[in-house]
Structures are given as C-alpha cells and as structure tokens.
Structure 1
Amino acid sequence: MKANLNQLSRAIDTVSGDVRLYLLHGPDEAGAREMATRLARAMGPEAERVDLEPTLLKSSPGRLADEAASLSLFGTQRHIRVTGAGEESVEACTMLLAAPRAGNPVVLIAPTVKGTSALVKLATAHPNALACVFYVPDAGEADKIATGVAREFGLRTTGATAARIAAAAAGDRAVVTRELEKIALFLDAAPERPRELDDATLDAIGADLGDAEMSRAIDAAIDGGPDRLGEELAKLGVAGVSHIPLLRQLVRRLMALAELRGEIDSGANANALLERVFFRERAITARALRIWSAPRLNDAIDRVRRAERATMAPANAGGVLADAAMLAVARMAARQRD
C-alpha cells in the first residue's frame, strides 16, 4: 500500500504485524533512515537488528523471507534492514510477501528507486507492504520537522529556534533528531515534563554552524583543492559540526552538477544554464562543469552516498570515513583538472 509520512509513522509506532515490508524510497535517505531507527525504538531495546546487503538479496533472494520468518537466538523480537536497495531486491521482496508466514518486519531503504519502479509497484499493490517516498525537505518543511521532533522530546521551540536547528542540520532529519535529543537531555525535558527551547540554549549547546562554513569545504571538494579542503575540514572538526549534513550537501551539489552536465552533453547552452544557478555559486559551478565529466560525477555521488551510509552505521569510524570520501572527491576533481 502507498502511505504518507503520518500513516507510516502510525504503522511503525504500533509495529503492526500485518506489515511485512516497509519500503522507504526517494532522495531523502536521511529521512528514511530516521524512520527505520524509529521502528527499532518501537520494537524495544532488546530487539535484534539484522542487516542484509542488496547484493546478497540478488544472489540469494530467498534469504529475506527466511530471515523474516526466523526466531531470534535469545527469543527477542528482531527486524531486518536493507540499505541501498534497488531493483535487484524485487524477487526477494516478492518471495517475502508470498511466504506463508513472516513475523519479523523488513525495512528497505532505497534512495535511488523511483515511483515507477517495479519495487515500488510491488509494495504499493500488496496489503502487507507500505511504500513511502521521502523527498529532501525545503526550508519551510524542515522547520516543521524540527518542531515536530522537538515536541516528541518534550521541547517547545520558540522564536526561530526550529529554523536554526533545521538550517544547521541542512534539513537532515536524522541530524535534527540527534541534536534535539542532546538538547532534551541537557534541559531534562520529556513529553511529561516539557521545556522551552530558546535561543540562549542553542547558543550554549546547540548547533550553530551555518551553510556558509560548510560551503567552503564543499567548494574545495568539487573545485579540486584537497589541501584547501583539509584546512576547512579541520576547522569544521574544531567547531564540532556533524559530518552527515556536510556529506548530504556535497551530494546535492554533485547531483546538481550532474544534471547540468547532462543537459550540456545533450546540446544545451552552458551560459544559459548557469543563469539558473545561485549567483554566488556561478563562478565555481562554471569551473566545475569544465572539470567534471558525467561518469566521474556519478562515481563521486556513489562514493559520497556510500560514505554517508557507512558513517551512520553502528560501530563505524565516523568522521574519518566522511573526511576520506570528501578528500577522494577533491582528488578526483584535481586529476580531471590536470
């Protein structure tokens, strides 16, 4: 079945046994991951999480249904998560939905899957599946997300605090949640004992890094300046910025370049296309379009997306992975420029 965000949230919070498959697709991978984390919270701290790779489902499609029907070793609840899924998972999901029993919910995070894909059509048509699309929120939607998440932690946003948090997190739902969770702990807030979140609190402990600071690092990456990027990453590290919004902003810039590159390769006028670019980014965008080829842009996007997933995975190397991915992009640009 097709579900909007509210319907999906209700289904996840109740952990309905009728839903075998949650398909979370669309470009806002961070938002999809946050909903997957929400399912884990709803199932309780003792629940076992099983991570499967899409490549495994392609080679062994029956594995998904087997895991969904298997009992936990310790008798606790369990749930299955597949990250970076695509059309290779169609057969595995078909077998899961056709199985005589399941028991353990499956979450597929599929950022590149479109609404017209066979995977989405399968989930939308089946009564035991929910498919929800996640788009990167615009500024107004991001503010509303921050307000809603704050309410869940017992925080009442005041003034422009919701907008400040959303901007500092680059609209990333997962980063917004982690930031507000930290603030709620600081204020000893909870739904049963709400606290006001004001500018003074944000100034004391909240995220205060704006887009401008992160943009300098992103510019260095796409412009082929690894030395300059290293300096910017060091500054961001001292400031305590989360790497997730940084990676997400880099992906957005690379995707925008890929779209422009594709139009130019199809015969469009580059100068006319640059008129659509924000005026402060036109110069570096023009240079980047001379540097980057379409295949290299696709490689860079894939590398940064994989780094984001790895950075958000449990027991990971954190910022080291993110910094390495960004430096790799800068070196790719430098090689193409040379």
Structure 2
Amino acid sequence: MKATEARLKAALDRPPADIRLYLLFGPDEAGAMALADRLPRALGPDAERIDLDGATLRGDPARLADEAAALSLFGTARHVRVTGAGEESLAAVSALLEAERAGNPVVVIAPTLKATSKLAKLALDAPNALTLACYVPGVEQLEGVVGEIAREQGLRLAPGVARRLAGAGGGDRAVIAREIEKLALYLDADPTRTVTAEDAALDAIGADLGEVEASDVIDALVAGKPAALGEALRRMEEANVSPVPWLRALARRLASLAEMRGEVAGGADIGGVMKRHRVFFKEEAATGAALRRWSPAALAGALAIVRAAERSVMSGASAGNVLPAQAMIELASRRAGG
C-alpha cells in the first residue's frame, strides 16, 4: 500500500501486526534511514536487528522470509533491515509477502528503485506492506524537517537556526539529527522541558559545517582529477567534517549521471538529455564532459563503491575518514585517463 510520511511514521512508531514490510525507495537514502531508525526505538532497547543487503537476497531469496519468521535467541523483539536493495530483491520480497507467517517487521531501503519498478509495484499492491517514495527535500522542506527533529528533542529554534543546522548537515538528516542531539544535550533540553536554541549555542558546540563545500569533492571525482580531490578531502579532514554527507551527495550525483547516461546510451542527444533533466546552465559543460567520460557500467560501479564506503562509515567498521577518502582517490585515478 502507498503511505504518506505521517502514516508511515505512525506505523513505525507503533508497528501494526498486519504490516510485514516497509519499503522506502528513492534517492533520499538519508531520509529513509532516519525513518527506519524509528522502528528499533519503538521495539525497545533490547530489540535484535538483522541486517541484510540486496546482494545477499539475490543469492538466497528465501532468507528474508526465514528471518522474518525466526524467533529471537534472547526472547526479545526482532526486526530485519535490508539496505542497498533493488530489483534483485524482488523474489525475496515476494516470498516474504506470501509467507504463511512473518512475525518480525522488515524495512527495505532501496535508494535506486523507481516507482515503475517491479519491486515497488509489488509492495504498492500488497495489503501487508507500506510503501513510501523518499525524495531529497528542498531548502524550505529541510528546514521543516530540522524543526520537527528539534521539537522531538525538546528544542525551540530561534530564527535562522533551522537554516544553519540544515546547512551544517549538508542536507543529510542523520548528520542533522546528531547535531541536534548535541545541541539538546548542551542546553539540557528534553521532550518534557522545551529550551530555546539560539546561534550562540550552535557556536558553542561547533555546529559549523555549512562553510565546507562538498561540491569540490564531488566535482573533482566526477572529473577524474585525483590531485584536486586529494586537496578537497584534505580540507574536509582539517575541518573535521563527517564523510557521510559528501558520500551521500556524491551518490546522488552519480545516480543522476547514471540515469542521464542511460538515455544517452539509448541514442538520445546529450544536450537534449541535460535539458530534460533541467541541468543548471553553469553545470552543463561539466555534466556534458562527465556523460562522455563515464560509461553506464563505470557509473554503476562507482555508485556501488560510494554506497559501500558510506555503509562502512555508518557501521563504525572503518578508520574514520581514511578508508572512504582512499577509495574515492583510487576511483578518481581510474577515471583520470578518460
């Protein structure tokens, strides 16, 4: 079934017994992750989470339904999260929705999936699934998201603070949420005691990532300029910026290029493709060069590397910014020859 964001939040906060699957698809992976994080909070601190990905489900389509029906080893609540899903997960999701029983809720995050895909249509038609398309919010929408997260932490934002927080997180909800949590802790705020947050408090906790431009990293990688990329990454490191926002912004850029490159490979004119996708006129030259430089396979491979780097950072399994930065420099070096 198709869900509004409000309905989906309500269901994740109080999971109904008749919903087996929550499918969150579309380019706003950060927003989908933030929504997915509501489920474990609802299930309690002792809840067990089983993490799967699209590649695992492609190789073992029965795994998802099995995990959804399995009992927790510790007798606690249990849920399943699937990341990086796509059409390869169709058989697994179909088995889940058709299974005789499935007591553990499943959240599937599919950032590259479109509403016209077979997987999205399957979930939209299923009465035991809730489906939401997640799109990157505009500036005004993002400020509304910031305000909502702040209210949940017991914060009332002074004028201009929401915009600054939105910029500080690079548009990434997960990073923004962490900054707001730090702000609430600094001001000793909680949902039962509202405190006004002003610019001085942001200065005190150092929430000033907005000055750092991820676009330099993205432009250098897409153009295949490892030296420029290394310099941009060095500035990011000196500013102690989390790699998550620029990795997600880079993923969105590569996904957009992949969509356009697919049309070019199908015989469309590059100029016409850029016009249909409303490429900003100042970015037309760089975008056109990228569409000539990158093949569809190379873009797909790069996107997989970027998403893997992000998952590594989020899982805490990497040495901070070092491994993602090294992966990006190697990727740019590969493209330097055209």
What is the TM-score with the length of structure 1 in the denominator?
A: 0.90
The residue that corresponds to 1:335 in the other structure is 337
The residue that corresponds to 1:153 in the other structure is 153
In structure 2, how many angstroms separate the alpha carbons of the residues matched to 1:37 and 1:146?
16
In structure 2, how many angstroms separate the alpha carbons of the residues matched to 1:289 and 1:101?
47
In structure 1, how many angstroms separate the alpha carbons of the residues matched to 2:71 and 2:274?
56
**2:163 partner letter:** A
Give structure 1 regions of 4+ aligned residues with deviation exceeding 6 angstroms.
Answer: none
The answer as to whether partners of 2:260 and 2:273 remain within 8 angstroms in 1 is no
Q: CA deviation at 1:263?
A: 5.4
The residue that corresponds to 1:292 in the other structure is 294
In structure 2, how many angstroms separate the alpha carbons of the residues matched to 1:175 and 1:246?
11
Residues 85-104 of structure 1: pairs in structure 2 closer than 5 A: 85-104=85-104
Q: CA deviation at 1:261?
A: 4.4
The answer as to whether partners of 1:23 and 1:131 remain within 8 angstroms in 2 is yes
Q: CA deviation at 1:6?
A: 0.6
In structure 2, how many angstroms separate the alpha carbons of the residues matched to 1:52 and 1:271?
39
Q: CA deviation at 1:186?
A: 1.5
Cα 1:247–1:272 shift into 2, 3 Å: closer
Structure 1 stretch displaced more, 254-263 or 112-121? 254-263
The answer as to whether partners of 2:3 and 2:130 remain within 8 angstroms in 1 is yes
Q: CA deviation at 1:293?
A: 3.5
Structure 1 stretch displaced more, 223-232 or 235-244? 223-232
Q: Deviations over 1:177-223 (max 9, x none)?
A: 11111211111111111111211122222432236632222222222
In structure 2, how many angstroms separate the alpha carbons of the residues matched to 1:188 and 1:209?
23
Structure 1 stretch displaced more, 120-129 or 159-168? 120-129
Q: CA deviation at 1:2?
A: 1.1
1:114 is paired with a residue of what secondary structure? coil
The residue that corresponds to 2:269 in the other structure is 268
Kindly indicate whether residue 31 of structure 2 is the aligned counterpart of residue 31 of structure 1.
yes
The answer as to whether partners of 2:212 and 2:236 remain within 8 angstroms in 1 is no
Cα 1:90–1:258 shift into 2, 3 Å: closer
Structure 1 stretch displaced more, 181-190 or 89-98? 89-98
Structure 1 stretch displaced more, 191-200 or 223-232? 223-232
In structure 2, how many angstroms separate the alpha carbons of the residues matched to 1:257 and 1:32?
21
Kindly indicate whether residue 304 of structure 2 is the aligned counterpart of residue 302 of structure 1.
yes
**2:125 partner letter:** A
Structure 1 stretch displaced more, 96-105 or 23-32? 96-105
Q: CA deviation at 1:55?
A: 2.8
The residue that corresponds to 2:52 in the other structure is 52
Cα 1:289–1:110 shift into 2, 3 Å: closer
Structure 1 stretch displaced more, 285-294 or 173-182? 285-294
**2:22 partner letter:** Y
The RMSD of aligned alpha carbons is 2.4
In structure 1, how many angstroms separate the alpha carbons of the residues matched to 2:104 and 2:272?
54
2:213 is paired with a residue of what secondary structure? helix
The residue that corresponds to 1:144 in the other structure is 144
1:103 is paired with a residue of what secondary structure? coil
Residues 156-235 of structure 1: pairs in structure 2 closer than 5 A: 156-210=156-210, 213-235=213-235
Kindly indicate whether residue 27 of structure 2 is the aligned counterpart of residue 5 of structure 1.
no
The residue that corresponds to 2:83 in the other structure is 83
Cα 1:99–1:284 shift into 2, 3 Å: closer
In structure 2, how many angstroms separate the alpha carbons of the residues matched to 1:168 and 1:28?
17
**2:55 partner letter:** T
Cα 1:113–1:211 shift into 2, 3 Å: farther
Question: Structure 1 regions of 5+ residues with no counterpart?
Answer: none
Residues 321-332 of structure 1: pairs in structure 2 closer than 5 A: 321-332=323-334
Cα 1:274–1:90 shift into 2, 3 Å: closer
Aligned length: 336
In structure 2, how many angstroms separate the alpha carbons of the residues matched to 1:256 and 1:209?
25
In structure 2, how many angstroms separate the alpha carbons of the residues matched to 1:312 and 1:269?
36
In structure 2, how many angstroms separate the alpha carbons of the residues matched to 1:212 and 1:238?
10
The residue that corresponds to 1:247 in the other structure is 247
1:177 is paired with a residue of what secondary structure? helix
The answer as to whether partners of 1:222 and 1:329 remain within 8 angstroms in 2 is no
Structure 1 stretch displaced more, 137-146 or 86-95? 86-95
Cα 1:239–1:98 shift into 2, 3 Å: same
Structure 1 stretch displaced more, 42-51 or 298-307? 298-307
Cα 1:290–1:25 shift into 2, 3 Å: closer
What is the TM-score with the length of structure 2 in the denominator?
A: 0.90
In structure 2, how many angstroms separate the alpha carbons of the residues matched to 1:99 and 1:258?
35
The residue that corresponds to 2:313 in the other structure is 311
Question: Structure 2 regions of 5+ residues with no counterpart?
Answer: none
Q: CA deviation at 1:256?
A: 4.0
Identity %: 53
**1:140 partner letter:** E
In structure 2, how many angstroms separate the alpha carbons of the residues matched to 1:273 and 1:126?
36
